[in-house]
Chain A
Amino acid sequence: MTRFFQQFLNFEKIRILKDRFAEKSLFVFMLIFGLALFLIILVLFLRTHPIHTMMTLPNLLFSTVWKPSKGLFGFLPFIAGSLWVTGVAMAIAIPICLLTSLYLVEYAPAKLRELISPLIDILAGIPSVVYGIWGVLAIVPFIKNYLAPLFGISSTGYSIAAGGIVLAIMVFPVIIHISVEILKAVPKDMKDASLALGATKWQTIKHVVMKRAMPGIVAAIVLALSRAFGETIAVLMVVGNVARIPKSLFDPAYPLPALIANNYGEMLSIPMYDSALLFAALLLLLVVLYFNIISRMILSGSKWSSYYYG
């Protein structure tokens, strides 16, 4: 009897030990995960140090001259390229996505909504290189042969417009998915309250639904913005990659991610080149991280703001 009891105790001990072990090891894995981000930033930061001994930060950010062989690393053309492409993408994506989400939530019959929603998620799952190839095959010739001539401009097609269009389609699912969830969360009784006062459906959407959903939709847009800003391969394939500040939609551009992807690992014999590219990477990371944090803050704060807005 006592032996059995002893065994039982041992068994119990092991059980508790295992439990402790599980907790601790999971914590360690979590720590590794959290550390990864910190380490990436730290390593990038340390490795960019040499470039700072040669050029000041404003100089790096705002100089337009990119001549690595002469030790001149002005990032403005790339920053401008990134801003242009992202801006064009958002200008296309925001209105289309907003109207789509509104239609899906407020007007579409249930059956259509059930049909479209998975399609949007599939769009999100397409590898970016496929978007890139599609851009080269469809969008680039379209711009070269139709869109640019329409404005009386000759363009190779590899341009900001091409990058913007491809990117816009890539961020559709991000914006639509979140916006639909946010719009669905507007209470039916609140909409009814507006309708009961004699508002039309559109007036209700404009004054009540949109107002209530606005913080969430802004968050969706910011999240999409960070996705667009960091997107590399699909943009790189269609945007032309010329290190000059673009002047029009049909000019080629050279966004930051493309710069890094095209050049890192090559020509590293040029002094400071490595450090300059890592500076670009750090810049990119910080911008994307910043957008992400902002978006998450708005989304998690939307509990508070929904309280605020009623």
Chain B
Amino acid sequence: MESKGHIKVENLSVFYGKDQALKDISVKIPNKKITVIIGPSGCGKTTLLKSFNRLLDPSDNIKVTGQVLVDGEDIYGPNVEVTRIRKKMGLLSQKPYPLPMSIYDNIAYGPRLHGERNKHKLDRIVEHFLKTASLWEEVKAKLHSPASHLSVGQQQRLCLARGLAVGPEIILGDEPTSALDPKSSQHIEKRFLELKQQYTIIIVTHILRQAKRLADYVLFLYMGRLIEHGPADDIFEDPQEEITKEYIRGIIS
């Protein structure tokens, strides 16, 4: 199991047209830990996160060089089935986007895509992952009402359950609490701390205190460069680089 779920980045650079958003990044993401990507806005945090599941698909004017290895496979290589890569990762975006369907169908969407048709199995999957996201009690009576009727905090937990239902090994969170009230944020953070027993979690955040609460491992990005990375305690207590110190002391943001 130890070799599974590994994300390794080698010399990754990303260009939007002429702008270089990521500059020659190499890093290994530890397994079954919470890795937090921090850095000032516009430093490339989200770009790095999205490069992991190829949501940053090389298209019109996005160019990617270098490698992102997931389980040893370069996901930007030729002949890579992108849907199979994405199935390995659940994504939480800044603002929750429930799909335009019922609560039940939101969770069942992924498993159905991947061929699950058995009604009983789907029922079990829906219940199981809604429980994992601690949403079950709140929605069990209205599984077939539109997901958009939920509160934003509930929607984000729904999105978490939806992501988990495809059986990923990795969870990606792009500032997953930034649209939520403090209570709902706490809810989500608690889920993350539980989930790291089974999943490799990577979160982008601009809230330093949140990073301190959650992180086992930290990447600090600045202007598209990976300035420093290491275990959370080292980075927060004893950063090596001047710029990291300034960021952590709140001088730059």
Contacts and interface: CB of A to CB of B under 8 A. Distances in A.
B98 interface: yes
A193 B83 contact: no
Contact of A192 (B55, B110, B114): B55
Contacts of B89: 196
B200 to A, nearest CB: 16
Contacts, number: 78
Interface string A243-286: 00000000000000000000000000000000000000000000
Interface in A187-216: 187, 189-190, 192-200, 203, 207-208, 211-212
B217 to A, nearest CB: 22
Contacts of A200: 83
Interface in B113-134: 113-114
Given A309-B100, A310-B99, A194 B109 contact: yes
* Chain A interface, >50% SS class: helix
Contact of B162 (A109, A192, A197): A197
Interface residues of A, number: 23
Interface string A176-195: 00000000000101101111
A96 B93 CA distance: 35
A37 interface: no
B204 interface: no
Given A109-B60, A110-B60, A197-B86, A189 B97 contact: yes
Given A197-B109, A197-B110, A207 B97 contact: no
Given A193-B93, A197-B110, A197-B162, A208 B83 contact: no
B95 A189 contact: yes
A208 B99 contact: yes
Contacts of B90: 196-197
B211 to A, nearest CB: 23
A307 interface: yes
A200 B90 CA distance: 15
Nearest to B111: A197
A192 B113 contact: no
Interface in B74-121: 83-84, 86-87, 89-91, 93-95, 97-101, 109-110, 113-114
B55 A195 contact: yes
A5 B114 CA distance: 83
Contacts of A109: 60
A208 B84 CA distance: 19
Nearest to B99: A208
B113 A203 contact: yes
Contact of B148 (A187, A199, A207, A310): A310
Interface of A: 109-110, 187, 189-190, 192-200, 203, 207-208, 211-212, 307-310
8 closest A-B pairs by CB: A310-B148, A309-B100, A198-B87, A196-B91, A197-B110, A190-B97, A310-B98, A212-B100
